[in-house]
Amino acid sequence: MIPFYPIPGIRIGTALAQIKQAQRDDLTVFEIAPHSTGVAVFTQNAFCAAPVTVARSHLQTHTPRYLLINSGNANAGLGERGIQDAMTTCEAVAQLTGCAIQEVLPFSTGVIGMPLPTDKIRVALPQAITSLVPDGWEKAARAIMTTDTFPKLYSLRTEIQGQPVTITGIAKGAGMIKPDMATMLAFLATDAKVPAPLLQTCLQQAVNNTFNRITVDGDTSTNDACVLIATGQGGLTLDSQTDTQTYRHFCASVEEVCRQLATAIVKDGEGATKFITVIVEQGESEAECLQVAYAIAHSPLVKTAFFASDPNWGRILAAVGRAGVTHLNIRDVNIYLDDVCIVKDGAVADTYTEAQGREVMSRKEIVIRVWLGHRGHHQTQVYTCDFSYDYVKINAEYRT
């Protein structure tokens, strides 16, 4: 069993609604204690799914008391019907629990363009609610999976200003991963007491440095959402200040949980066999560094070379060159595979051998490091994976 720490004020239940399959639970309910605070960030895809639209709207006026998550169906690309179906599921939760409809946040993941089977969800909901328990995190991590091969769960306990703090989170995602906010779905909670505006700032910062730095295939989902709940039932209370050591320590802890979940998503990338970190340094800006990092991380030629353990370093060089960096002096560019220098001053390094490259490329975890040549002091990193035969097979058969 994956070790985790329950969060006081959070109970979780799951049920089998048979939305797409009948092998495991696919419906999850989070119950959130009164007086908690809840924030979220969502996809920037213009074709955002109906549950994203509804959840955004509900968060603007109410503090969430329940989260409702279904896998197997994205409830996306369905226009007004999708909105009505999402509201129907929220109403079903409200009827069973006595909360307001606006206190329910819906989330969906799965196939786009198929009507949400609301009848199946309504039938399974009582079981999910009656099974609510504080230690339901692992069951929930499994219930929100689609093409994932393992559940993604991470839990952290630390001490801040002498007070114990717990942060626990789950996530799902393996394909259609190039977030413009978070991963496909992630749910985190803490027992700290944090005002909503401060919690929102903290989550956005953590997401930018973690979930927004991963890519499996360069595709941004219609359903991306990341939620952070603070129940306030622990010992730590944060005020409204962002420039304190307490706030920085808390945010660093949230970011660590997000990073662990984000990298787990990449390691579970559909058909992935290699975990690759791309680090770009000496850029004029962080945006410039990201431009180069994503050019490498999104390249099918680079990703297939890693799958084959083929040290075809020219593909990395070409990706850097086409990244669109203004006035790039290629004579100042250095590129490394782990500790092996493959490009020195814009050309193949004198010390490089094919055997060195092949040995590095055969590793399961690899770092690509690019120096842009003293253009500035900015740097960033992106996490990605290789492309295998299975990636094509999984996505070709996704709806069958």
Residue in 183, 190, 222, 380 annotated catalytic: 183
| C-alpha to C-alpha distance for 249 and 267, rounded to whole angstroms | 27
What digits encode the pLDDT tens for the residues 48-106? 899 999 999 999 999 999 999 999 999 999 999 999 999 999 999 999 999 999 999 99
Q: Is 183 known to be catalytic?
A: yes
CATH of the structural domain 275-396, one choice from 3.10.20.340, 3.30.465.10, 1.10.20.10, 2.60.34.30: 3.10.20.340
Residue 182: pLDDT band (50, 70, 90) is very low
Q: Tell me the pTM.
A: 0.90
| The two structure tokens encoding residue 101 | 């409809």
| C-alpha to C-alpha distance for 215 and 367, rounded to whole angstroms | 15
Helix axes 50-61, 79-97, angle to 10 degrees: 50
| C-alpha to C-alpha distance for 284 and 377, rounded to whole angstroms | 7
Percent of the chain with pLDDT over 90: 78
Residue 399: pLDDT band (50, 70, 90) is low
pLDDT, residue 242, reads: 82
What digits encode the pLDDT tens for the residues 275-321? 999 999 999 999 999 999 999 999 999 999 999 999 999 999 999 99
| C-alpha to C-alpha distance for 276 and 298, rounded to whole angstroms | 12
Residue the block writes with tokens 């953590």: 206
- 339 alpha carbon, distance to own chain's centre: 29
Query: What residue spans define the domains of the chain?
Result: 10-267, 275-396
Parallel, antiparallel, or unpaired: how do β-strands 185-190 and 225-230 relate? parallel
CATH of the structural domain 10-267, one choice from 3.60.70.12, 3.40.50.300, 3.40.50.1010, 3.40.50.2000: 3.60.70.12
Residue the block writes with tokens 């431009």: 291
Q: At 266, is the secondary structure helix, strand, or coil?
A: helix
Please check the confidence at residue 268 and state whether its pLDDT lies above 90: no
